[in-house]
Chain A
Amino acid sequence: MLEIKNLHANINGKEILKGLDLVVRPGEIHAIMGPNGAGKSTLASVLTGNQAFEVTHGDITFYGKNLLELSPEDRSREGIFLSFQYPVEIPGVSMVNFLRAALNEHRKYKNLEPLSATDFLRVMREKKTLVEMDNKLANRAVNEGFSGGEKKRNEIFQMAMLEPRLAILDETDSGLDIDALRIVANGVNKLKSPDNASIVITHYQRLLDYIIPDFVHVLYDGRIVKSGGKELALELEERGYDWIKKEVEETV
């Protein structure tokens, strides 16, 4: 579904992604690990069309469509979803209005009628239960005054509402206690199907105990320098990243 070829991207003139390749097929779960500052969030931003990042080389296709030509909103409507590392607070915009607007734009894109108020509320209720989201949160403004954990849970709730084909979870596990981690992972697993895929960006192997990846990639200095199965995550957990850095330097 997703093919990234030789991707280079800048921010403020500084090159962050330096020739990144990745292929994701339906049904797969990919974990991307790597030290701080490697470019993991940058990859997520480029995939979702954040204008702050400039793509200088390479291609990204999503189901054969040139992703780089699509607006952020169309990427979302095509089925790409990012759970933000740092979800944004939007004072004054209620969760209900926000989600209804989002859901109906998705439906319009698919030539479907907007959901009636009752149907919308029913869907919201179902998905809330799925991620064990507090009723109170759903009645507030988007992320306003939410704790770190509540914000992350809200990301998964939104994901459940929008049912993406490709979900990118950027450090959704950081700042979560074990309980919250279990809920988030549970939500992700329940949404899993043979037709959709996930990219799980994480620092720790902890989350991967709950969400079992098919592939683990190491992103270092703007490139994927090593790929393997889920055992690679355990190895990284044990040995850290220094040996990878060394390996990379040796091959250079």
Chain B
Amino acid sequence: MKNNEISTLNAAPTVRQETLEQQYIDLYKEQRESIKKHSSAVMNTSRDESFARFEALGFPTSALENYKYTDLRETLSVDYGLNINRISVPINPYEVFKCDVPGIHSYLYFVVNDAFYPVNDPVHNKLPEGVIIGSVKDVAASHPELLRDYFGKLSTAKNDGLVAFNGAFAQDGFFMYVPKNVVMDRPVQLVNIMRSDVDTMANSHNLIVIEEGSKAQLLVCDHTVDEVRFLSNRVTEVFVGENATYEHYKLENVHTKTTNLSTLLIDQRKSSNVLANVITLHNGITRNTIEIDLDGEGCDTLLCGMVIADKKQEVDNFTSIIHNKPNCNSRELFKYVLDDMSKGGFTGKLLVAKDAQKTAAFQTNRNILLSKTAKMRTKPQLEIWADDVKCSHGATIGSLDESAKFYMQSRGISEKEARLLLMFAFTNDVIENIRIPALQDRMKLLVEKRLRGELSKCEGCVICQ
């Protein structure tokens, strides 16, 4: 932990570093006023409460049921710098990242480390009327009422050390508001860029509000520039109103020295439709917590994910879908391809409340291990209190189908190519669940490149080359 301007504080007595948490607790106490000064009132309201919660909870360890498959000890012992005083980072992402997934035509935004980068995208001016996209900080000044109604409503009370930590330290984030009955004509794209000369931590808190009857698509790309260690801890709250449709795509392609901790909290109202698709192509350590609450009747939810990992990469997807109301459908599909010493974790928590009759909920997690040293741990966790429901779950861990491989070889296809075709086929149904055609095409290409081993390093935003 370093605060850029007070990095000499590192020389503080070592006794204070007896736990991983202590240095951050001390930092908070020392810097509380600076943190608040460089943030917005709405984010400060619950800051002390979050801090108290963090003090009590500490960082999650694998001793906790929900964090069984995530081990953060090593990465949390790194001395990361925090940019509490919001010193601007010398980079102009709009110049560096010419993003053009052919044909995606997105509204493009950047968060550099933990700071929303000033909008400089000409397309931005063409946002449909009433749509607001910007930094939490700016919107807190221009539309305080919007934030007051939503900010922190899903996250503040969470009994989760990472969310609490975020609540204490996050100073800004990405904000998107789509008013009633507005259909976004293009996808919105948010690129998170980590850029620093020293090991750096970024906390940000995003808020997305999709009002009644609206439609929006958001693509979040995680991206690293420098070969230092990065840790990002991001919380995203999403409110999806009645009859609204929201698609959330997350594409992670970062270097191996990155730890990405991400919490996505989605609240669905009556007859809303949500697709979340979380893809890890290349990473270091990743923990995704995705919680979707169905708080109205007739909701439809599709939660997908895919992981391709090798070397010592680790990915843990913890998912939770809670059916609170009747007549909702949820489907979940996660696929992992793990090679070398990589580790995968998947938890599929499904809760069907007593009143949530006529729930249909299906969960699938399939995994392929390409080496003897790769590890996958998977856990369905179903809690069903209603009696008139259709629920199923299935998890498999296996290797590539040898007879299919031989069949292909017997037609002249090389072993390497046969393996590739099989792996590609295995991940295909997750990619098919991308509803932005240009992105789907791009993903097919990227996945193939990744499976061929041609995407081992993230150089420039792969999605944008």
A residues at B contact (CB < 8 Å)? 48-51, 71-73, 75-77, 81-82, 84, 87-93, 97-99, 101-103, 105-106, 109, 141-142, 158, 162
Residues of A close to B425: CB separation below 8 A? 90-93, 141
Which of the residues B403, B412, B426, B428 comes within 8 Å of A102, measured between beta carbons? B412
Which secondary structure characterizes the binding site on chain B? helix
Q: Please determine whether B413 and A105 come into contact, CB atoms closer than 8 angstroms.
A: yes
**Residue from the set B401, B425, B429 with the largest chain A CB neighbour count within 10 Å:** B425
Given contacts A72-B406, A92-B429, contact A98 B411 (CB under 8 A): yes
| A73 pairs with B412, CB closer than 8 A | yes
Could you write out 16 A-B pairs with CB less than 8 Å apart?
Answer: A71-B415, A72-B406, A72-B409, A76-B410, A77-B412, A81-B410, A82-B410, A84-B410, A87-B407, A90-B408, A98-B411, A99-B411, A101-B413, A142-B407, A158-B411, A162-B412
Residues of A within 8 A of B408 (CB): 90, 93, 98, 101-102
Interface pair B414/A105, CB less than 8 Å apart: yes
Contact A102 B407, beta carbon cutoff 8 Å: no
Q: Separation in Å of the A89 CB from the closest CB of chain B? A: 8
Cβ contacts under 8 Å, A97 to chain B:
421
- A97-B421, A98-B421 in contact; A90/B413 too (CB < 8 A)? no
- Say whether B422 faces chain A, with CB atoms less than 8 Å apart: yes
Contact indicator A73/B407 (Cβ below 8 Å)? no
CB atoms of A48 and B417 under 8 A apart: no
Distance between B419 CB and nearest chain A CB, rounded to angstroms: 12
A43 to B8, CA, bound (A): 76
Closest Cβ of chain A to B441, distance in Å, is 15
Tell me the B19-58 residues at the A interface (CB within 8 Å): none
A101 touches B409 (CB 8 A): no
What's the least CB distance linking A71 to chain B, in Å? Answer: 7
- The smallest beta-carbon distance between B398 and chain A, in angstroms, is 13
Total A-B pairs, Cβ < 8 A = 79
User: Quick check: B414 and A73 within 8 Å, CB to CB?
Assistant: yes
Give chain B nearest CB distance to A166 CB in angstroms. 13
Which residues of B420-440 are within 8 A (CB) of A?
Answer: 421-422, 424-426, 428-429
Cross-chain contact A92 with B428 (CB below 8 angstroms)? yes
Distance in angstroms from A90 CB to nearest chain B CB is: 5
Of all chain B residues, the one with the shortest Cβ separation from A103 is B412
Contact with A along B386-417 (1 / 0, CB 8 A): 00000000000000010110111111111101
Return the contact of B412 from the options A91, A93, A105 (Cβ within 8 A).
A105
Question: Which of A48, A88, A89, A103 gathers most chain B CB within 10 Å?
Answer: A88
Q: Which residue of B lies closest to A88 (CB)?
A: B407
Q: A84-B407, A105-B417 are in contact. List 15 more A-B contacts (CB 8 A).
A: A49-B409, A73-B414, A76-B411, A88-B403, A88-B404, A92-B428, A93-B404, A93-B424, A93-B425, A101-B413, A103-B412, A105-B412, A105-B413, A105-B414, A142-B407
Q: Tell me, in angstroms, the Cα distance from A82 to B411 when the chains sit together.
A: 8
Given contacts A90-B404, A92-B429, contact A73 B421 (CB under 8 A): no
A109 and B412 CA atoms in complex are apart in Å by 9
